[in-house]
Amino acid sequence: MEVEQLESSITSGEKCVVCEQIKSVGIHLYTSYICHDCERVIIQTDTSDPKYRHYIKQLKKITQPEIYS
């Protein structure tokens, strides 16, 4: 699993797969982008918290890219 840190200028950004907002700092996981804010909240959220299910649902959108030979 390759995770790449992204720090770009404030004027550009990408759409976070969790909060679906354009953010400029975050990580790439396969073909998806997770903003720094969501990453931090997900890590700190207890599994018994109702919000945790929402995060899991959003993270299921992440798919492993196919390898073409």
What does each of the 69 residues of the chain score in pLDDT, given as a tens digit?
344 444 443 457 899 999 999 999 999 988 899 999 999 999 999 999 999 999 999 998 887 666 776
Tokens of 26: 């975050």
The residue among 2, 7, 4 whose CA lies nearest residue 27 is 4
The residue among 41, 40, 30, 34 whose CA lies nearest residue 17 is 34
The domains of the chain are located at 3-59
Count CB-CB contacts under 10 A for residue 69. Answer: 2
The residue among 56, 11, 50 whose CA lies nearest residue 38 is 56
Tell me how far apart the alpha carbons of residues 49 and 42 are, in angstroms, rounded to a whole number.
Answer: 11
Predicted TM-score (pTM) of this structure: 0.70
